[in-house]
């Protein structure tokens, strides 16, 4: 069991960070521990005030994954432009964007279109349980997210059986491509933002919204501003009232993300996640 003491200038809220819907493989147990699988690690972690206690990973991993060395106060100050975002910041202060493994994040957001978060978590868990590698960890046997080579060998029918529905072929195609191009993530990471975005949208099943999620949650492009139905609602009502009540067409998506990038700045993605997280406690997954 290891610990990290958070400094007073280092706000972090583990519960908000893991329950806000950015990552799909964490579960909170009844006794207050979060357990999840990241790459080949089965991690168990909890927070009591300024102390993080964890096992299954070293301190370096925990710092990197939760981006504990990122100056969150400075980031929040940079996006704090008006009372609406200010309220979201007050409500969700300590939420951090984690650094997810690219391949798992890509498939996760292929699985996350036109559906809800509990269903996405079920799909990921089913794929891991059936096609991932078993690893011994602090909470018994856990399963890694299946690597591209493995998933490329799974039939569409078997993926549908993991409740992917019509997304099964998209996931399979992504697995085939990434197993044949193992350097794809590094190539995307080295591109400028808009080009990286276009590169991700070459995957079938990855449109503008899913691409922005992967850019933000896996590649650390913090200017990415994913616009889902909730964010569309919030931004339209708060900042672009002429869009309120309308469906999010591609042109409107483009307008919202450009506005938000200009308005909130280079960490617009944090603004997006704080607005999303503060959308209402009733809809927050635990």
Min. distance of Cβ 221 from DNA in angstroms?
A: 14
Q: Please, which residue, 166 or 182, has the CB nearer to DNA?
A: 166
DSSP 8-state assignment for residue 190: T
Closest to 200 measured CA to CA, from 107, 117, 96? 107
Q: Please, which residue, 83 or 280, has the CB nearer to DNA?
A: 280
Rounded CA separation 116/76 (Å): 28
Please name the residue that has the structure tokens 């280092």: 10
Q: Please, which residue, 152 or 159, has the CB nearer to DNA?
A: 159
Cβ neighbors of 268 (< 8 A, separation 6 or more) are 79, 222, 223, 224, 225, 260, 261
Closest to 6 measured CA to CA, from 76, 54, 75? 54
Min. distance of Cβ 135 from DNA in angstroms?
A: 26
Min. distance of Cβ 116 from DNA in angstroms?
A: 3
Min. distance of Cβ 283 from DNA in angstroms?
A: 6
Given a contact cutoff of 8 angstroms between Cβ atoms, the answer to whether 26 and 98 are in contact is no
Angle (deg, nearest 10), helices 102-110 and 208-217: 150
Q: Please, which residue, 56 or 217, has the CB nearer to DNA?
A: 217
Q: Which residues bind DNA (CB under 7 A)?
A: 20-22, 112-119, 122, 160, 163, 165-166, 170, 201, 203-211, 213, 226, 228-231, 249-251, 272-273, 276, 283
Min. distance of Cβ 208 from DNA in angstroms?
A: 5
Q: Please, which residue, 53 or 284, has the CB nearer to DNA?
A: 284
């Amino acid at each position: 069991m290891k610990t990290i003491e958070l400094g007073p200038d280092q706000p972090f809220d583990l519960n908000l960070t893991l329950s806000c819907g950015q990552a799909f493989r964490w579960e909170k147990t009844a006794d207050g521990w979060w357990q999840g699988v990241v790459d080949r690690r089965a991690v168990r972690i909890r927070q009591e005030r300024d102390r993080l206690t964890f096992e299954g990973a070293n301190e370096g991993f925990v710092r990197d994954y939760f981006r504990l060395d990122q100056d969150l106060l400075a980031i929040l100050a940079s996006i704090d432009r008006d009372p609406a975002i200010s309220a979201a910041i007050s409500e969700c202060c300590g939420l951090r964007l984690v650094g997810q493994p690219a391949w798992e994040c890509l498939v996760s957001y292929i699985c996350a279109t036109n559906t809800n978060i509990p269903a996405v978590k079920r799909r990921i868990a089913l794929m891991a349980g059936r096609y991932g590698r078993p690893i011994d960890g602090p909470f018994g046997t856990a399963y890694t997210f299946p690597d591209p080579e493995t998933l490329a060998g799974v039939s569409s029918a078997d993926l549908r059986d993991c409740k992917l529905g019509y997304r099964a072929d998209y996931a399979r195609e992504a697995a085939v491509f990434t197993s044949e191009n193992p350097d794809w993530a590094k190539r995307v990471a080295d591109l400028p933002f808009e080009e990286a975005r276009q590169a991700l949208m070459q995957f079938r099943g990855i449109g503008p919204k899913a691409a922005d999620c992967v850019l933000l949650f896996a590649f650390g492009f913090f200017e990415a501003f994913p616009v889902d139905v909730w964010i569309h609602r919030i931004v339209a009502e708060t900042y672009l009232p002429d869009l309120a009540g309308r469906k999010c067409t591609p042109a409107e998506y483009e307008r919202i993300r450009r506005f938000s990038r200009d308005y909130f700045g280079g960490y617009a993605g944090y603004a997006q996640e704080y607005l999303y997280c503060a959308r209402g406690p009733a809809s927050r997954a635990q």
